[in-house]
Structure 1
Amino acid sequence: MIYNERLLFHTVTVPHNPPLRRRQSIDQPPIMRIVLLGKRVSENSRVGNFILGRAAFDSEAPPNFVERVVGRLKDRHVMVINSPQLLQQHLSLQHIVQTVKECLSLSDPGPHVIILLLKHDQCSTEDQECVEKVLHSFSERVYQHIMVITTQEPTETNEILQKIIQKCANRHFSLQRSSSHDDLLQMFEDIVQMNDGRHLVCAKFEASQYFTMKQQATAKFSEDMKLNLVMCGSDATLKSSISERILQQTERRSEVELHGRQINMVELPALFNTRLSEEEVMRQTLRCVSRCHPGVHVFLIIIPEAPLTDEEKAEMEEIQRIFSSRINKHIMILIIQNSEHQTAELNEETKTIIESFGGRHNFFGSTTQVCTLMEKIEQILEENRGGLFSTETFLEAQMKKLLKFEEMKKTDSPETHFLSKGNDHKVN
């Protein structure tokens, strides 16, 4: 699918016509990172969508799925990390700690605001104990960054809820149909300013392996570290069949052990010529990268041995345009051979396209051993010193595009800008 550049940025980071950037003070971080905690997917999705002003979160998403979406609240860049089940009472301490780690990792280096999504008629003593257990899992200083959001008008005062709100320095926002984004943003800004722009520091997790992965990424790739692979291409059936073969599974699973490594395989939906909306395609793209914590090690782009069709070439161009050229050092082109007489010869056009993606490629036929492919992937890891393509890398690339686009607009006359609308997709 071909994106309009303005809609691309509207969907991911900022609206079409953002205000001129102003100098950031020490108490105003470039992106405000918000963690949203609740009990139910539908409620969390509603609040998250209100914050971002669009349908960013799916009300039918899996309840145990922690998701991160970036957008804007008024004139402010915000990142919302949504954990829709962490305040449920039945969760074990181990489950809570692991989910808190994931929330903190997705908000790296830490959240500025943590939201408790609670209800007047569903707040008991057990809920209070659950809230305190969850918050203590973050940090002893968590209450400096906490606020409460409720989504219903109370029929009567709930003393337990009032105690929680008081402990959160009486920071409470009641979300109703007439609620104002300005009021909510001001509450967020007040929390950030009170903390001098500093995010929540969770020292208890800093020494854990979960949070040292980022440091390990600059060192040699560890044998016991999860290997995150993303399967790309225009043919969904072909991607699935190759994924199954790599994972050596007759019944598909997302994570398996392969050659001594834990493999996390994620399939990227086709980006070109799809029936999905631009917003949904971008949402799935971000989700794909987010599912590869702490980042993607290798993107496998599937192409046939035969000359590429226009659709296949457009898909590859779309991948590179959306992710930027920074993806190239993480790409392996996987050339699928179906003929009985397999050769290593490629036509000149295919060679040129492969070179534009960094030149790494591997033939993959019916007799090819998976271990051969793994050796090639190991070489990429060595070349990159374990480096990753993370969600932050993706967002930085989008921001760079946006700034370049805004600079171009400043030099354009209104007539030129109007006539160039149809060519926005050419901006790199």
Structure 2
Amino acid sequence: MSSSKQLFTDEAQPLKRSSSYEIMPPDMSELRVVVLGNSWSERSSVGNFILGKTEFNTEEAPDCCLRVRGQLKEKEIVLINTPDLLLPNISEDKLTEFIENCVSLSDPGPHVFLLVLHPEDFTEEHKKRLQTILELFSDQSFDHSLILISPHREESSGFMENYMNHPPLKEMIRMCRYRYLKQKNLELPELLTRLGQIVKENNGEHLSCDVCKNSATALPDDQPNPTQMENILDADETAGTSRMESSTSYHCK
């Protein structure tokens, strides 16, 4: 496993292949992951990859946050997939509303932000928008973030070999403490191991979200949110070495 010092250098490399399958400290029973990025299709594909089955529709982006709960061996993983928050036409009020919804679905707080970024489509405007979003959650969000770099569409161009020279992506990688993986040829244990490393680096603690401080009293603790609906799904399929059980929550307005 790479040391913390190595992770904070410009020469840091993606996590190498690992046979480890422990993603959380023994005293943790649930890992909550918020998925952000500049492509709904790619975010959903990554979510389905983690769950080992198709839970997210990759074709049609909803105007809401979606939560899927799955069981991985004896641990639970909760994925909160977000709508396309990097679009410039989303107002500040609407953006805050989306983030508050996301915080509600990840209560009491997310452990990791998984940033699924496609270098070709990740512009300077996207970088600034994503930075704003993470800061709205908390100024500590970058310490809980992992970048997953999507494959380049045309391998012959050599773009992926030079992605660190792509200014918006390079700067985002720096802000996320050089925590990143390449999606190409990525295997599930590698990704889960890296998520677990981030949890351990933060002493197993979830993020305390700043945005929820202003809305903490919006609803009584025992009062269900009327905009949240639970739909329990059967999960008899087996994915790799794990049996996944999942439920999907929709949080829309």
Does the 8 Å CA contact 1:38/1:88 hold for their aligned counterparts?
no
Question: Which residue does 1:65 correspond to in 2?
Answer: 64
* Pairwise CA distance, 1:156: 3.6
Aligned-pair RMSD on alpha carbons? 3.0
Question: Which residue does 1:122 correspond to in 2?
Answer: 121
**Partner amino acid for 2:32?**
R
Q: Distance in 1 between matches of 2:84 and 2:71?
A: 24
Question: Which residue does 2:177 correspond to in 1?
Answer: 169
* Pairwise CA distance, 1:62: 3.9
Counting only pairs closer than 5 Å after superposition, residues 12-27 of structure 1 correspond to structure 2 as 25-26=26-27
Question: Which residue does 1:87 correspond to in 2?
Answer: 86
Equivalent position SS for 2:219: helix
* Pairwise CA distance, 1:90: 2.7
Counting only pairs closer than 5 Å after superposition, residues 350-361 of structure 1 correspond to structure 2 as none
Deviations 1:205-262 (A, max 9, x none): 22415x5424263xxxxxxx97x4xxxxxxxxxxxxxxxxxxxxxxxxxxxxxxxxxx
Does the 8 Å CA contact 1:69/1:80 hold for their aligned counterparts?
yes
In the alignment, structure 1 residue 182 sits paired with structure 2 residue 189: yes
**Partner amino acid for 1:213?**
L
Does the 8 Å CA contact 2:34/2:81 hold for their aligned counterparts?
yes
Q: Distance in 2 between matches of 1:92 and 1:203?
A: 19
Does the 8 Å CA contact 2:44/2:58 hold for their aligned counterparts?
yes
In the alignment, structure 1 residue 193 sits paired with structure 2 residue 192: no
Does the 8 Å CA contact 2:70/2:247 hold for their aligned counterparts?
no
Equivalent position SS for 1:120: coil
Q: Distance in 1 between matches of 2:180 and 2:73?
A: 20
Equivalent position SS for 1:57: coil
Q: Distance in 2 between matches of 1:190 and 1:120?
A: 24
Does the 8 Å CA contact 2:64/2:251 hold for their aligned counterparts?
no
* Pairwise CA distance, 1:70: 1.1
* Pairwise CA distance, 1:126: 1.0
Q: Distance in 1 between matches of 2:53 and 2:74?
A: 15
Question: Which residue does 1:376 correspond to in 2?
Answer: none
Q: Distance in 2 between matches of 1:212 and 1:146?
A: 28
* Pairwise CA distance, 1:266: 7.1
Does the 8 Å CA contact 1:38/1:85 hold for their aligned counterparts?
yes
In the alignment, structure 1 residue 202 sits paired with structure 2 residue 204: no
Higher strand share: 2
* Pairwise CA distance, 1:38: 2.2
TM-score for both structures, normalised by structure 2: 0.73
Q: Distance in 1 between matches of 2:57 and 2:75?
A: 23
Higher helix share: 1
Q: Distance in 1 between matches of 2:215 and 2:230?
A: 29
Equivalent position SS for 1:66: strand
24 and 46 in structure 1: CA distance in 2 versus 1, 3 angstrom threshold? closer
139 and 56 in structure 1: CA distance in 2 versus 1, 3 angstrom threshold? same
265 and 173 in structure 1: CA distance in 2 versus 1, 3 angstrom threshold? closer
Does the 8 Å CA contact 2:64/2:98 hold for their aligned counterparts?
no
Does the 8 Å CA contact 2:48/2:54 hold for their aligned counterparts?
yes
Counting only pairs closer than 5 Å after superposition, residues 376-387 of structure 1 correspond to structure 2 as none
* Pairwise CA distance, 1:132: 1.1
How many pairs align? 211
Percent same amino acid at aligned positions? 29
* Pairwise CA distance, 1:278: 4.5
Does the 8 Å CA contact 1:73/1:181 hold for their aligned counterparts?
no
Q: Distance in 1 between matches of 2:141 and 2:222?
A: 27
Question: Which residue does 1:107 correspond to in 2?
Answer: 106
TM-score for both structures, normalised by structure 1: 0.45
Question: Which residue does 2:219 correspond to in 1?
Answer: 213
Q: Distance in 2 between matches of 1:202 and 1:51?
A: 24
Equivalent position SS for 1:79: strand
Question: Which residue does 2:30 correspond to in 1?
Answer: 31
**Partner amino acid for 2:31?**
M
Question: Which residue does 2:132 correspond to in 1?
Answer: 133
Question: Which residue does 1:45 correspond to in 2?
Answer: 44
Does the 8 Å CA contact 2:228/2:250 hold for their aligned counterparts?
no
* Pairwise CA distance, 1:187: 0.9
Equivalent position SS for 2:108: coil
Q: Distance in 1 between matches of 2:138 and 2:88?
A: 19
Structure 1, unaligned stretches of length 5 or more? Answer: 1-22, 218-224, 229-263, 272-276, 294-428
Equivalent position SS for 1:95: helix
Q: Distance in 2 between matches of 1:204 and 1:182?
A: 32
In the alignment, structure 1 residue 160 sits paired with structure 2 residue 160: no
Does the 8 Å CA contact 2:99/2:137 hold for their aligned counterparts?
yes
